[in-house]
Amino acid sequence: MRSDSSSAVPTSYARYTGYLVYFVIAALPLSFALAHILMELANYQTYRVRREFTGYSQVVLIALLLWGCLKNRQVFDWRILGLMAVPILVLAGHFLTGTDDDIGRALWRWVLIWLFALVFYGAVRSGTIAVAAKGVVYAFVTGSLLYTVFALVHHFGLGHLEDLNSQNLLGFGNVRASTRLFVPAIMCAIVPAALPSLPIRRRVMFLAAALIISLLSGYTGSRSTILALMSISVMAFLLSRGFGYWRIAVTTTAVVGFGLVAARFLPSVEYFGLDITRNHDSGRMEIWSAVFEYVLQSPFFGWGGIGFPDPVPGGPSNAHNIVLQIFYEVGLVGLVSMAILAALFLLRVLRIVQDKAASPYVTATALAACAIMADALVSPALWFQYSAFLFVVLAVMMLTAKQEPRPVGNAVPRGAEGPADSEAAG
């Protein structure tokens, strides 16, 4: 059956580097909140802190993983490092011109996430680092739960409700930015809670985490969160063999509904935009129309930058739609390339969804990554460094999951789930 990826006999280096990855995944959201308090950040200043924290974490991990690859050069696929030459040359060519502008900073952000994706994939695939989907799910859900409790205590227990009245959610500034944490975190908690292959105590634990996180998510009134979670869970139900994932769809509906209803019993927020029943589209239609007009002016190779020639309605720095944003930045050439990669990724997800023997933790990472993609259709998810970092980690866990022979008959002997999932059968 499909199990988590990990080296058969991990070295001390592989284990401790894996622990560091788990720590980073769990600690980042809480570190944003602590930085917000200690540095007394205003609304959108929190974005810069998230970008810097995530960027420095990626630099450290890239350095450690490259060192590990050198130590395990016999098993590491060096073609992966060859792919790194392309973005590095692009970045070097830009800086050799001596300019420091928004394009240069955007190149650095995307080159960094691309380098991390390549090195992390190669390290996990070769066993250079002992990281498993089970550990990633536990770390991510735990970190998100700790952040949620911390934020609830800060805003409601310590009397900082006025921050929410100005849409300033602790650690995220604009409350909408919190979808980059809540969407994948709730999905990572829902899948293990819904699937019967785990022990009941563990399922209850994940369900409790999902409900608590949904309480703060429901309070933000983010419709993109609801869209992403519901669309992916329903698609997983419809595409699974014999509609076996109906439990995921039902659990998602219950968790989302609980968050929305329970949030009504918290102290009210004056800003009407937090109301899920509001009847406006937050200006997205005007934004998409304006950006599409720019796309038509340079449809083949795009504009090549991160800003717009003239301010679009509402003044956002991105299109709030990842397809339109890619079309604007790199044109039809880049859009077709990204569409091919996305299609290959979704085909892999489909195989996991249709595999009744798939590990619930691998399934959780696959559906959480898809939820980020769905969220990116109506929000800046995947455009910012933190959400792109989470997507890479979740996607790599899914892509490197090993395919093992199915057990004979209906019985699943203990240990058949692989070294990383030996407790999944309960």
Per residue, the 3-state secondary structure of 186-227, as one string, reads HHHHHHHHHCCCCCHHHHHHHHHHHHHHHHHHHHHCCHHHHH
SS3 of the chain: helix, strand, coil, percent, to 5: 65, 0, 30
Residue 304, pLDDT > 90, answer: no
Q: Is residue 237 part of a domain?
A: yes
**179-194 helix and 246-263 helix, angle to the nearest 10 degrees:** 130
Average pLDDT, whole number, for the chain?
Answer: 80
Q: What pTM was computed for the model?
A: 0.85
Question: Lowest-pLDDT range, 80-89, 213-222, 346-355, 363-372?
Answer: 80-89
Residue 410, pLDDT > 70, answer: no
Residue 409, pLDDT > 50, answer: no
Residue 408, pLDDT > 60, answer: no
Alpha-carbon span 184 to 229, nearest angstrom: 8
DSSP letter string, 118-148: HHHHHHHHHTSS---HHHHHHHHHHHHHHHH
Q: Is residue 318 part of a domain?
A: no
Q: Is residue 69 part of a domain?
A: yes
Report the pLDDT value the prediction gives residue 363, as an integer from 0 to 100: 95
Q: Is residue 107 part of a domain?
A: yes
Alpha-carbon span 294 to 109, nearest angstrom: 23
Structure tokens at 351: 């195989």
Residue 209, pLDDT > 90, answer: yes
Instruction: State mean pLDDT over 264-291.
Output: 65
Instruction: State mean pLDDT over 95-103.
Output: 60
Instruction: State mean pLDDT over 388-411.
Output: 72
Residue 17, pLDDT > 80, answer: yes
- Residues written for the chain: 426
Report the pLDDT value the prediction gives residue 273, as an integer from 0 to 100: 47
Bigger pLDDT: 278 or 413?
278
Report the pLDDT value the prediction gives residue 282, as an integer from 0 to 100: 67
Instruction: State mean pLDDT over 327-339.
Output: 85
For the chain, the straight-line distance linking the first and the last C-alpha, in angstroms and rounded, comes to 16
Name the pLDDT band for 395 (thresholds 50, 70, 90): very high
Q: Is residue 346 part of a domain?
A: no
Distance of CA 372 to the CA centre of its chain: 5
Name the pLDDT band for 313 (thresholds 50, 70, 90): low
Alpha-carbon span 86 to 202, nearest angstrom: 44
Half-sphere exposure of 358 (CA within 13 A, CB side): 29
- Among 70, 67, 62, 108, smallest CA distance to 88 is for 108
Residue 1, pLDDT > 70, answer: no
Q: Is residue 183 part of a domain?
A: yes
Residue 231, pLDDT > 70, answer: yes
Residue 132, pLDDT > 80, answer: yes
Instruction: State mean pLDDT over 342-349.
Output: 92
DSSP β-bridge partners for residue 174:
168
pLDDT in tens, 48-68: 778 778 888 888 888 888 787
Report the pLDDT value the prediction gives residue 372, as an integer from 0 to 100: 94
SS3 assignment, position 402:
strand
Instruction: State mean pLDDT over 245-252.
Output: 95
Range of the domain at 390: 8-274+355-403
Bigger pLDDT: 25 or 420?
25
Question: Lowest-pLDDT range, 25-39, 226-240, 241-255, 316-330?
Answer: 316-330
Report the pLDDT value the prediction gives residue 77, as an integer from 0 to 100: 67
Report the pLDDT value the prediction gives residue 7, as an integer from 0 to 100: 42
Q: Classify the C-alpha dihedral 186-187-192-193 as positive or negative.
A: positive
**Which residue carries 């930058």 as its tokens?**
305
Work out how many domains the chain is built from and give that number: 1
Instruction: State mean pLDDT over 237-252.
Output: 92
**Percent of the chain scoring above 90 in pLDDT:** 31
Q: Is residue 408 part of a domain?
A: no
Name the pLDDT band for 272 (thresholds 50, 70, 90): very low
Instruction: State mean pLDDT over 309-314.
Output: 68
Name the pLDDT band for 73 (thresholds 50, 70, 90): low
Q: Is residue 281 part of a domain?
A: no
Question: Lowest-pLDDT range, 20-29, 95-104, 319-328?
Answer: 95-104
How is residue 48 annotated by DSSP?
A: H
Alpha-carbon span 313 to 320, nearest angstrom: 12
Name the pLDDT band for 122 (thresholds 50, 70, 90): confident
Name the pLDDT band for 246 (thresholds 50, 70, 90): very high
